[in-house]
Structure 1
Amino acid sequence: MAEKEQVAPIRDHPSNYEGDISTHPQRNHQRKFINSCVCLLVFLLLLAIVIIVLIFTIFRVKEPIIRMNSVQVTKLELANNMSLIADVSVKNPNFASFRYSNTTTTLYYHGIMVGEARGPSGHAKARGTITMNVTVELITKHIISSPNLSADLGSRLLTMSSFSSVPGQVKILKLFKKHVVVKMNCTMSFNITTQGIQELDCKSKVKL
């Protein structure tokens, strides 16, 4: 009998296994790299959103609010010196303190300066209010020399105007500084009979 032909078994080439095994670490490395990049992008996006929110909320400098609460006349005698005490408050709506330098208050009688006062420097705490008492000594000779005095004496009212300026700055986290100037113009009428303020109208303006 003829010998049966022996068929050699087909063997996989060893290089195929080696190629598959060698590509697995590369794929894992690529996946880890892609995942790391995605995580980094998500982190940067969240960080940008947080910074934008802080800029438009906490880091945003809001306008301080200045008010003339009251004006008290201590002496109302044209023959002698006159003086008045103005109660002024500054409200700080920011999340950082508002530090201001020397304040200035000037009093006018029909456009003529008749008194000026300067206040000390200070600061208003974050979201707090500071109150200042400003005493102004009036120069009566400037009032007496005004041609409008006779008409005001007839009406028993002395109409005056004042200008106050509070320059300062808001510092956030000791990194960001914003210079602020708070200004206020007031018109007031002094009643000669009652020696008190009859009318008081103020308008404020803030320069950032």
Structure 2
Amino acid sequence: MSDKKEQVKPLAPAAHRVDIDDYDRSDAFSVELASHLCHSRQKCIKLCGCCAAILLIAVTVVLVLMFTVFHVKDPSLKMNSVAVHGVGELDRRTGSGPGRNLTFDFEVEVKNPNVASFKFGNTTTFLYYGGSLVGEATGQAGEARARKRVRMDVSVGVMVDKIMGVERLGNDLSVGILSISSYTRISGKVKITQAIKKSVVVVKLNCTMNLIVRTQGIQDLKCT
């Protein structure tokens, strides 16, 4: 009788039933998702690290090139030789001066140490005696190719009236030696790229020399 009175409790509604297999599948998906996200994050970190390393290497290479290969250096001038014409035989007794066609022929060399050409304008050479300007000449414009030298011939005609007006001329003629100085300058531009270029305002060459009147030769040529 008591058994009949006991009522059978119904099972939980289907909506509230928990399927163990669902929990397993959910956990597996969460683990897989977390693993995928972690793997993607690691790939992203590695990719960013590689990009940063490449960028750093590129910047370093550019800086090294700019301070070494692409570093713009000033070209230099060199006086290779000097020849004198028109001095003639000077008579110490009469004190006659040099001939009317007295000229100095200079061979000047331009050295370009850069990896790009050096384009320059006209070359100007001045000749001095006793502190007075006695001659001036202009050479042609040109170009010195990368890491090359180019030679130029400059002929300076001496203004005889100027040189005859120098007070020390008589004493120098008696000794047979005239101390001459020259000054050469050029201006131009070295251009490696659109971003790397430099204008060389002036490149200078100062020389001193002794003109031996009897032989019309040059001795003690010194340049800076």
Tell me whether the two structures share a fold, i.e. TM-score over 0.5.
Answer: yes
Tell me how far 1:110 sits from its aligned partner.
1.1
Given residue 96 of structure 1, which amino acid in structure 2 is its aligned partner? A
Tell me how far 1:174 sits from its aligned partner.
4.4
Unpaired segments ≥5 residues, structure 1? 1-9, 204-208
User: Cα deviation per residue 1:151-204 (whole Å; 9 max; x = unaligned)?
Assistant: 10111011111110011111103442111221011111111000111221111x
Given residue 48 of structure 1, which amino acid in structure 2 is its aligned partner? V
Task: Say which of 44, 63, 66 aligns to 2:74.
Answer: 63
User: Cα deviation per residue 1:26-73 (whole Å; 9 max; x = unaligned)?
Assistant: 112211111110110110111011112101211111232211011001
2:126 alignment partner in structure 1: 106
Given residue 125 of structure 2, which amino acid in structure 1 is its aligned partner? T
Give the TM-score of the pair, scaled to structure 1.
0.88
Aligned-residue sequence identity (percent) comes to 41
Q: Distance in 1 between matches of 2:181 and 2:190?
A: 29
2:173 alignment partner in structure 1: 153
Q: Distance in 2 between matches of 1:175 and 1:55?
A: 11
**Number of aligned positions between the proteins:** 194
Given residue 216 of structure 2, which amino acid in structure 1 is its aligned partner? Q
Q: Name which one, 1 or 2, has greater alpha-carbon Rg.
A: 2
Q: Distance in 1 between matches of 2:99 and 2:155?
A: 19
1:44 alignment partner in structure 2: 55
Matched, 1:75 2:86: yes
Question: Which consecutive segments of 4 or more residues in structure 1 shift more than 4 A?
Answer: none
Give the TM-score of the pair, scaled to structure 2.
0.82
Query: CA RMSD for the aligned pairs?
Result: 1.5
Q: Distance in 1 between matches of 2:199 and 2:81?
A: 27
Q: Distance in 2 between matches of 1:175 and 1:196?
A: 48
User: Cα deviation per residue 1:113-171 (whole Å; 9 max; x = unaligned)?
Assistant: 11100011111010100000000000011111111101101110111111100111111
Given residue 73 of structure 2, which amino acid in structure 1 is its aligned partner? K
Given residue 120 of structure 1, which amino acid in structure 2 is its aligned partner? Q
Q: Distance in 2 between matches of 1:81 and 1:120?
A: 22
